[in-house]
Amino acid sequence: MSEKPTQKEEVSTEVAGARETILPLLKGRALEVLRTAEAQYPQATTQIEDELARLIKEEKIKGPISGEALYTLFRRIGLRVRLKTKIVYIEDGKEKSLSEKLKGE
């Protein structure tokens, strides 16, 4: 029997390779944006990861990729990544949500 990898194994290896290339450059909330986008748009995110990895290997992207930049990239290509957000404030050294503030007053 020949040990020829199947097409599915090759694709998963390529995805892992692309992600390994991208991860060291992700800064701030970029990893959160990437994981959320992957959960919401798995096929598109895989294609974006492949393209980013190619650009990094070609040294067209050299610096860190911030969460804001990655989020903007997804928005510009028409993918609205819905991130979990909340508004908080600090009172007396404690972090409180906006809903707690409104309920208390």
CATH code where residue 77 lies? 1.10.8
Domain hosting residue 18, numbered range: 7-104
Distance CA 71, CA 23 (A): 15
Give the position of tokens 């090759």. Answer: 10
The first and second tokens of residue 56, run together, are 């990094």
Total domain count for the chain?
A: 1
Phi, psi of 31 (to 5 degrees): -65, -40
In a domain, 19, yes or no: yes
Is residue 1 assigned to a domain? no
User: What residue has token string 């860190």?
Assistant: 64
In a domain, residue 2? The reply is no
C-alpha triplet 26, 28, 32: angle, nearest 5°:
75
pTM: 0.70
- 10-residue mean pLDDT profile of the chain (105 residues): values are 51 69 93 95 94 93 92 95 86 83 75
Amino acid present at 85? T
User: Which pLDDT score, from 0 to 100, does residue 24 have?
Assistant: 92
Question: Residue holding tokens 């959960």?
Answer: 39
